[in-house]
């Protein structure tokens, strides 16, 4: 599965561009998840950096936290059965506050 598309690159706000907004006013651009585990990444910003793409968003994993994560990192993960991270193709029109409050 292709984690990033041209449409997502074009839609993604640059890093730092939502820093002054409240979570209820920040749309989640895309959601990534581990199909064999419990980790989920909600990307709200991002931009190219060298040969990588750096995201900022909310991560549900061992801890629930805001932070940066990279496309190269996501692509390098191989979980159980050799499955990699996937992008939720049906994820649309949700706000960051919803991801913080509950698993969406």
> Which of 50, 55, 52, 53 is closest to 66 using CA atoms?
55
Residue 53: predicted pLDDT: 98
pLDDT of residue 79: 82
Over residues 63-73, mean pLDDT:
97
For the stretch 31-55, pLDDT in tens is 999 999 999 999 999 999 999 999 9
Q: In angstroms, rounded to a whole number, what is the distance separating the alpha carbons of residues 80 and 8? A: 27
When the pLDDT of each residue in the chain is averaged and rounded to a whole number, the result is 95
pLDDT band at 27 (very low <50, low <70, confident <90, very high): very high
For the chain, give every domain's residue range.
6-101
């Amino acid at each position: 599965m292709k984690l990033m598309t041209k449409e997502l690159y074009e839609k993604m706000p640059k890093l730092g561009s939502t820093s002054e907004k409240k979570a209820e006013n920040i749309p989640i651009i895309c959601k990534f998840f581990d199909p064999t585990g419990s980790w989920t990444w909600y990307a709200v910003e991002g931009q190219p950096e060298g040969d990588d793409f750096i995201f900022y968003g909310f991560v549900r994993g061992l801890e629930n936290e805001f932070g940066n994560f990279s496309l190269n990192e996501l692509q390098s993960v191989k979980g159980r059965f050799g499955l990699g991270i996937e992008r939720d193709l049906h994820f649309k029109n949700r706000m960051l506050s919803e991801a913080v409050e509950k698993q969406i």
